[in-house]
Structure 1
């Protein structure tokens, strides 16, 4: 058997980048990465933080996974009326429901993630009118509650939690210190969100860079709805792009001199040399240690093929003996049907490859290749005492499937 080179794969990555503003479109990219270890089996959010948590990173809400905010690059002017019975005439924002987004890699592997908005922040500046800036006050109504009150008369930054990210409803606010019916013209900027991202299981994903996107309309009645009397809106759409970089840990370690596997009867040759019966089979186990955090496939390539098996050949008379080659893997690695890989036959050829899934990541755990002559072959081989049978068998562990 040829030695197996140590192989390492890359891990899954997901992070969020700032939004690039265009004349009629805003765009941000969310990225994450998966760097597997014995203590880490999760995606790491590598998104640079911007918006509210970029300005106030020590605020408690910013310390959570869903509290990392990103600015969306949305700016507009809003005419508001304090305590108007129509929420849309006040300072008003509504976000769309949770979306399922397909992400795929260049090799055609595809998975789904779920994305939802979980909190919202904006900075408001009073341009004109007797009303205070409309996000000042501690009376948030509709589908949000207050995480941080905006303070001030001419400028204020709010932070609201979206109560039901799966299916949000519109949010508005009022100030108890303000009379109803007061108009104001307000500039809205630093429009940022935090988000909830439910990523696919990286252990079930082949290595690669997975990308996808989701698009939202922005406007008075957009999927991101801003209410009535909006002017100077700088964008009418928001594109959120996703990049998930999967880099699995994969390492095989074989003992020294594993490129040669010498077969012999169980217990050695002495019984046969002393006049005993011909051995029923010739065997050898080749141990190895494996680290694996994702799927892989295994197959053999043969110098000499005997049907669906590999063989070894006697160069003197060209007799070829078939080999029965099997594999055992640690319990965290299973077949696609959930069965353990315990002395499982290894198929010949890439088209017949055996797919192995990671149920539980394994790190430096033992496995083995089991070599044996097929039934009846040993007796035919020892009929030619002194001859040598040779053949190359390559066992391929393919992390790219």
Structure 2
């Protein structure tokens, strides 16, 4: 008997990530230069022996934005952030107590779930569910003490006065809600708002603001990925475009003009499966015997019920795979053994797999008959270093013929069990 493995693979998962934006300081309120806005998002699935039932992608996107600037703020809230790499600048002054929300500082984000298709090199596709769940940024103006015409004091107090007691870093208008209280400086107001709906959120200042810039814009997101156990090994790539500007997916109103009219999110999902088998030394040779050995038949004249042999092994699997037979001698869809006279008898090759691996009909694998037509098996979780077995049997009627008609001869044949993850 021979055992052969061909290794490449597949997998499923639910991955949640959060993004938000940084609150860095950039001097000046000069005109904004247009630039491309592309954001990379990456995640990896690799089976974890310590957590075999956790079938999820791990976010590997480099931290940026708010959580890069304020790591302690994000860590206690379980947030992860990434910068959108866009800015927006007012085109005319924001009037005090303006009535139209679109004439001042406002935000609207694409909060609804959208589907993103990712594809690997072989053309296999998977779907990601993606939605924006929060927005954070820095509002920069000239000194807030100049805007409200009061002597220097605490900037948080001055910003509260500017916005009628509702500073951007300390409160949020419905349907947005504050994600955490953020401090202000004399020129910068940092904020983090949860955005459950694709509805504008904005405020009207009590004093006129001649120029306002939205800087370091970033978002939080919710990403739901497919089950990696049902995906082929490899790298999956895809992208989604969000429009920026009045009426767009990211909408800052009619007054604020953005640096770019498109934000592209590029996704890279890496699936790194395991499919491994470990057989004991000398596994390549199997001898078929009756239960209890030949002595019972030789000494007592008892005819064997059948001939059999078991071959145990250990296995690791996080991907679906197929198992089929290749035979030196074939009878129908089964392998056979042959004696020097040319008499052939079929050998049933059966398979037992550990818990967590199931047939295409979602059944456990216990002494399942294999054939030359490969059968597919799938994991419900990562199977790590678990026992499995191959069973080889010659049925009673065949043993009877071997004994009655070919007693004393030796039957041989190669049975190759092929494991293939490319299914």
TM-score, normalised relative to structure 1: 0.86
2: distance between equivalents of 1:137 and 1:324?
A: 72
RMSD: 2.9
Q: Does the 8 A contact of 2:12 with 2:225 survive in 1?
A: no
1: distance between equivalents of 2:182 and 2:281?
A: 66
Return the structure number with greater strand share. Answer: 1
- State the match for 2:24 in structure 1: none
Tell me: CA distance 1:104–1:374, structure 2 relative to 1, closer, same or farther (3 Å): farther
| Residue-by-residue CA offset, 1:143-185 (whole Å, 9 max, x unaligned) | 32222335133222221122x2xx43222235xxx526x2432
- State the match for 1:247 in structure 2: 272
Q: Does 2:250 match 1:224?
A: yes
1: distance between equivalents of 2:230 and 2:82?
A: 29
Q: Does the 8 A contact of 1:11 with 1:33 survive in 2?
A: no
Q: CA shift at 1:277, angstroms?
A: 4.7
Q: CA shift at 1:391, angstroms?
A: 1.4
Q: Does 2:106 match 1:92?
A: yes
- State the match for 1:366 in structure 2: 387
2: distance between equivalents of 1:300 and 1:17?
A: 50
Q: Does the 8 A contact of 1:16 with 1:29 survive in 2?
A: no
Question: Structure 1: any 5+ residue segments left out of the alignment?
Answer: none
| Residue-by-residue CA offset, 1:7-34 (whole Å, 9 max, x unaligned) | 6869899899999xx9563111211112
Residue of structure 2 aligned with 1:205, choices 215, 224, 231: 231
Number of aligned residue pairs: give it: 385
Alignment of 1:47-58 (within 5 A): 47-58=61-72
Moved more, 96-105 or 214-223: 96-105
Q: CA shift at 1:380, angstroms?
A: 2.5
1: distance between equivalents of 2:396 and 2:369?
A: 14
Query: Greater relative contact order: 1 or 2 (C-alpha under 8 angstroms, separation 6 or more)?
Result: 2
Q: Secondary structure at the match of 1:141?
A: coil
2: distance between equivalents of 1:54 and 1:74?
A: 17
| Residue-by-residue CA offset, 1:41-93 (whole Å, 9 max, x unaligned) | 2321111111111111111x34555x211111112212433443322222111
Q: CA shift at 1:374, angstroms?
A: 4.3
Alignment of 1:2-401 (within 5 A): 2-4=2-4, 25-40=36-51, 41=54, 42-59=56-73, 61-63=74-76, 67-78=79-90, 79=92, 80-96=94-110, 97-126=112-141, 130=147, 136=168, 138-146=170-178, 147-162=180-195, 164=196, 167-174=197-204, 179=206, 182-231=208-257, 233-274=258-299, 276-314=301-339, 316-348=340-372, 352-374=373-395, 376-382=397-403, 383-401=405-423
Tell me: CA distance 1:8–1:212, structure 2 relative to 1, closer, same or farther (3 Å): closer
Tell me: CA distance 1:399–1:64, structure 2 relative to 1, closer, same or farther (3 Å): farther
Tell me: CA distance 1:303–1:17, structure 2 relative to 1, closer, same or farther (3 Å): farther
